[in-house]
Amino acid sequence: MVEILIMLAAGITGAAFLLALGRFVLGPSRFDRVVAFDVLTVIAITFIVLAALLENRGIYLDAALVYALLSFLGVIAIARYLEGRF
Amino acid sequence: MEAIMDIIGGLLMVGGACFLLFGGLGLIRMPDIYNRIQAGSKTTTLGTLLTLAGAACLQPAWGWKLLLIGIFLIFTNPVSAQVLASTAHRRGAHQSPLTEVDRLAEDREGKA
């Protein structure tokens, strides 16, 4: 029962991932692509948590934490670069 | 008792996934960059937090680590959205023709 609910959540999250990926590919401006990248990384964190539940391995959560940190730093760095600060 | 917690956790995770889906839909449908930032950052924060809460219901032993990820997301998601929006506005990103109020531009004109 719980497995079915987790798989359903993974399927809906996969649909969201595809929509955000569509904006990443279409995106008319650079900023649209950066926003899509931000959303894609947050969705990927959800995927990692779902994978940890399905495999029953708590160590995957550390990967999710590091991924959240790296995506935040990446978005900030890209935004500063687009602003022309360095 | 454990079965009830499992069902609650699974439903929370499905609800969070639905919020993520709405976020992706808003990202596709919204007319300009500022609306897309709004749709993208708000819904993904709530959706991921709901999913983390569901995972904590399913595996109570992981609670502290999930709480850490949730607090980190609460702090960093609005910051990255705000930095992106201010950068886009400063570089003059395309605005939807439906935009009526632009307080940031009025503020900059007042200072100049």
- Residue B81 belongs to a domain: yes
pLDDT at A85: 63
Complex confidence, ipTM? 0.89
CA distance B20 to A10: 11
Considering only CB atoms, B10 lies closest to which of A5, A58, A69, namely A5
**pLDDT tier at A25 (50, 70, 90 boundaries)?**
very high
Query: Average pLDDT of B38-53?
Result: 92
User: Closest Cα of chain B to A62: distance in Å?
Assistant: 8
Say how many Å lie between the first and final Cα of chain A, rounded: 53
Q: Which residues contact A63 (CB under 8 A, 6 or more apart)?
A: A48
Q: Which of B21, B35, B64, B77 to mutate to test the interface with A (most CBs of A within 10 A)?
A: B21
User: Closest Cα of chain B to A26: distance in Å?
Assistant: 9
Query: Average pLDDT of B31-60?
Result: 92
pLDDT at B25: 92
* Two tokens, residue B7: 């069902």
pLDDT at B15 over 80: yes
- Residue B74 belongs to a domain: yes
Closest CA to B77 of B39, B22, B103: B39
CA distance B93 to A34: 13
Q: Structural domain tally of chain A? A: 1
- Residue B25 belongs to a domain: yes
Chain A / chain B CB contacts < 8 angstroms: 161
CB A6: neighbour CB atoms within 10 A?
22
pLDDT at B112: 62
Query: Average pLDDT of A14-41?
Result: 91
Query: Average pLDDT of B78-88?
Result: 91
- With left for phi above 0 and alpha for psi between -120 and 50, is residue A84 left, alpha or beta? left
Query: Given an 8 Å threshold on Cβ–Cβ distance, is B76 in contact with A2?
Result: no
CA distance A35 to A31: 6
Query: Average pLDDT of B80-100?
Result: 85
SS3 A49: helix
pLDDT at A86: 56
Domain that holds residue A70: 2-83
pLDDT at B103: 80
**pLDDT tier at B102 (50, 70, 90 boundaries)?**
confident
- Residue B38 belongs to a domain: yes
SS3 B91: coil
pLDDT at B48: 93
Q: Structural domain tally of chain B? A: 1
Nearest CA in chain A to B70: A65
CA distance B103 to B108: 9
User: Closest Cα of chain B to A54: distance in Å?
Assistant: 10
Q: Which of B41, B80, B83, B89 to mutate to test the interface with A (most CBs of A within 10 A)?
A: B80
Q: By the 8 A CB rule, do A23 and A43 touch?
A: no
Domain that holds residue B29: 2-94
